A = this chain, B = another copy of it.
Amino acid sequence: MPVTPEQQAEIDALRSAPRQTLRAVSEGMESHLYTAYPVLDHGFVRVIDYMGDDAAICQAARVSYGKGTKSVQNDEGLIRYLMRHWHSTPFEMCEIKLHVKLPVFVARQWIRHRTANVNEYSARYSILDREFYIPAPEHLAAQSVVNNQGRGEALTGDEAARVLDILKSDANRAYDHYESMISEDGQQGLARELARMNLPANIYTQWYWKVDLHNLFHFLRLRADSHAQYEIRVYAEEICKIVADWVPFAYRAFEDYRMGGETLSAAALDCVRRMLKGETVTQENSGMSAREWRELQEVLG
C-alpha cells in the first residue's frame, strides 16, 4: 500500500480546494494533481506542481520567431515542427514537479539525469521506513544470455522460490539490525548516517524531482525504452500517461519523432537508398558490421 491514510487525507484535502489563478492551466493535468499513482510494490508517482501547457510552448516559440511563425497555422503543427527540427528551447518553458517513491537502486539510475532539481529524503537526518522492493514472480528475471546488460525469462520453480526467500529475509534482517543499531533504548545508538549503510539497495526512498519538459522527454526516451531496466521503465511509463494529458500535442509529437523514431547512420541510409532503387543489399556489400546490419534489419522490420 503505497499511500498511508494520512497521506490520502492530505491529498484529498488539497484536491478539494481549488483556487483562482491567472496562469496557464492545463485541465488534463489538473485532474492528476496530487494523486499518487502506484508503481511497483510500494512506490508511487504524483504530480505536485506544473508550469505551462501546449500553448505556452507555442507562445515561447513565437517570441523567438516573431511574425514568422504565423505561417504555421496552428499550435499542433508548430509543435510538430519544433520537435522535428530539434528546437528544444520552447519545450524547456514547461516544468513539472513530481513526488516519487522508489527503490534506491532505481534512484541511482534516475539521478544520472543531471539537468533536474532534486530534494531527497535524508537517511542521514531521518529514519527510513521498512519498505523494500520485492519483485513480483513474473519480473524475477534470469540474466540474459545474449546481453550483459539485460534480462531473460522469469525464473521458475525452486530457483524463484529461493531468490524470493533470500530477498525478503535479507531485507528484513538488515532492517531489524538497522533498528537495533540506532535504538537508544539502553544504549547510545549508532549515528543514523552510519546505520543506513547496512540497508540494501531495494529499500525505498523518496524525493521531489523537478524538470523541464525537454529534459523530461529525454529521460522518458531513454527510460520508457524497451531496453531500460523494467523497474525504472514502469515509472517512466506512468509519467508518460500524465504527460500525455498535460501537453497532448507535445506528447504526440514526442511519440512520433522520438519514442517511435529511429536514427539511421550515414551507412544505413545509404543501404536504404540502394534497396529502394531495387538493389539487393547484403551485410557483405553494406559497408556495415554484422552487428550494425542486424540492428538495421530490426529497424526495417
Contact = CB atoms under 8 A, between A and B. Distances in A.
Interface of A: 14-15, 17-25, 30, 33-34, 48-52, 56, 59-61, 63-68, 71, 77, 80-81, 84, 86, 89-90, 92-93, 95, 97, 99, 103-105, 108, 111-112, 114-115, 117-122, 124-127, 133, 135, 140-144, 148-153, 155, 159, 162-163, 166-167, 170-171, 173-174, 177, 180-182, 184, 187-194, 196-202, 206-208, 210, 212, 222, 229, 255-257, 259-269, 272-273, 275-276, 289, 291-292, 295, 299-301
Given A21-B25, A21-B30, A135-B194, 13 more contacts: A23-B49, A64-B121, A65-B125, A65-B126, A89-B119, A124-B149, A125-B149, A141-B190, A143-B184, A174-B174, A193-B229, A260-B269, A276-B276
A95 B166 CA distance: 45
Most interface-central of A95, A135, A173, A190 (chain B CB within 10 A)? A190
A50 B118 CA distance: 18
B159 A188 contact: yes
A152 B190 CA distance: 9
B191 A201 contact: no
Contacts of A97: 51-52, 93
A126 to B, nearest CB: 3
Nearest to A65: B125
Copies of this chain, tallied across the complex: 4
Contacts of A117: 89, 92-93, 212
Contacts of A292: 80, 84
Contacts of A71: 148
A31 B274 CA distance: 40
Contact of A121 (B63, B133, B184): B63
Contacts of A30: 20-22
Contacts of A67: 126-127
Given A23-B33, A125-B68, A60 B189 contact: no
A8 B114 CA distance: 33
Contacts of A56: 48-49
A191 B141 contact: yes
A25 to B, nearest CB: 5
Nearest to A166: B177
The 7 closest A-B pairs by CB, nearest first: A260-B266, A66-B126, A151-B191, A197-B202, A92-B117, A142-B188, A18-B20
A208 B255 CA distance: 26
Contact of A300 (B18, B34, B115, B272): B272
